[in-house]
Structure 1
Amino acid sequence: MGGVFGCTAEQLAAGMEHLRVFDFQGSASGTMRGMIVDHDTEQIASFGSLILASMGGKSLTRLEVDLSFALDDFAPLPPVSMGPLLVSRHCPDLRILCLTSFPIHLSELKTFFEGLNGPLDIGLDDVLLLSSTWAEVLDLTRYKANWESFVARSRGAECNDMSEEESLAIFGDHSYPSLGKEGKATLYIRGYIKDNPLRIREGTSAS
């Protein structure tokens, strides 16, 4: 990547080493929300490099990334995983994590979670799972999540075969759901219900 404000990616990363809060919003053209990113492959790659260099290091306590440009329904190419932005991170002091419109593989999320010390506030909103199952994501997240965490508007894997009614019951349709409006997935990762709703669904589908 070329220089950013007169410095290289390596210099930027070094300067961000002690960053404690990182909040990035990247939107598709025309949404009027966050930094505008076109669908050009080179621009997306460039922004990926910029985000990677800017995210900070072990001092992070809050990490929020909204990549709505990556899941724009009008994009000419299928979404690629943004998990590489996370897998190289080790954030033992992280207390708030929110991923929005974030395409990722389970293996990448698992690698990142291994470097976190829970419980912490985790928000997975409009996340697209590119491989494996959401049942596994919920089990993984439950071990790190606190009572404020949520999973909402999920995409990919089992969600592709759900009716709208079933999806709403499990995942809900609101970010940061208010009391009584949580989907079953959110209740499960918070520890309010014992059984993974997607494991129950698997059993029902198999019978």
Structure 2
Amino acid sequence: MDEIAKLVHEIVNRRRGYANFFGYSGSDKETRKAEELDVGRELLLHLNTLGLEQYSNLSLLDDKEGNEPFPDLQAITQEQKHIGIEITELVNEEKVAQYAKAKNTNQSINPNDWHVYDKGELEFAINEIINKKNEKISRKPDHLQEIWLTIFTDEAFLKYRYVMEFKDTLELVENLFDEIYLVISYSPEVKDNAFPNGYPIIKLK
């Protein structure tokens, strides 16, 4: 098996199998960092196309004491404002566990067995994430003027137009984030000037 074939084989074996468009090669630290940068780049690309503010110098943040950094990324505006961006995922953990069990026991998997979200469940899932991340805001570096939360998802049920139907009626829990975004995996049907690479982005706050 040549090197390229080995790499492809490794990636396929490490994929979790469910809603993993962004997590292309597993859940190790190096992969997560690449995933976070990919999501951050799509967010800034979208915001820059809107022309309201220009963001650049996207980079990973490191914790000098060896702890998990918070937030994950930082970007800088043309006015030299430093923005911290925390990246996290919305995925149904029960479905992930089901797919993992099926894979480990060589059972067949129905590729269309996706979790179904109604407005209430999506609201609950988003608020659960916000509460968890909000507890970490006190750890933010002093040089950051704003903290954003960016939630990405590859849940098949959470298409852009579906979420937009009730986006304005979602009731978010009280939190200290300056802005909150939802980044949805590749959706060619919405590819346009606002989403040049086909990744829909919805501002929740």
TM-score, normalisation: structure 2: 0.30
Highest RCO, 1 vs 2 (Cα 8 Å, sep ≥ 6): 2
TM-score, normalisation: structure 1: 0.30
